[in-house]
Amino acid sequence: MSRIGKKPVPLPQGVSASISGQSVEVKGPKGTRSFHATDDVTLTLEDGSVKVTPRGTSKRARQQWGMVRSQVENLVTGVTVGFKKELEIQGVGYRAAMAGNVLKLSLGYSHDVNFEVPDGVTVATPKQTEITVEGIDQQLVGQVAANIREWRKPEPYKGKGIRYKGEFVFRKEGKKK
For residue 146, being part of any structural domain is answered with: yes
pTM: 0.88
Range of the domain at 25: 9-81
Q: What is the mean pLDDT of the chain?
A: 92
Cα separation, 109 vs 123, whole angstroms? 22
Alpha helices in the chain (DSSP H): 59-80, 138-150
Instruction: Measure the N-to-C terminal CA separation of the chain; round to a whole number of Å.
Output: 59
For residue 55, being part of any structural domain is answered with: yes
Q: Is 14 exposed, middle or buried (0-12, 13-18, 19+ CB in 10 A)?
A: exposed
Average pLDDT over residues 73-90: 94
Q: Do 74 and 17 have their domain in common?
A: yes
Decide which of 34, 61, 81 is a domain's last residue.
81
Q: Do 69 and 98 have their domain in common?
A: no
Q: What is the pLDDT of residue 177?
A: 76
Cα separation, 123 vs 153, whole angstroms? 19
Average pLDDT over residues 98-113: 93
pLDDT band for 3, please (50, 70, 90 cuts). Answer: confident
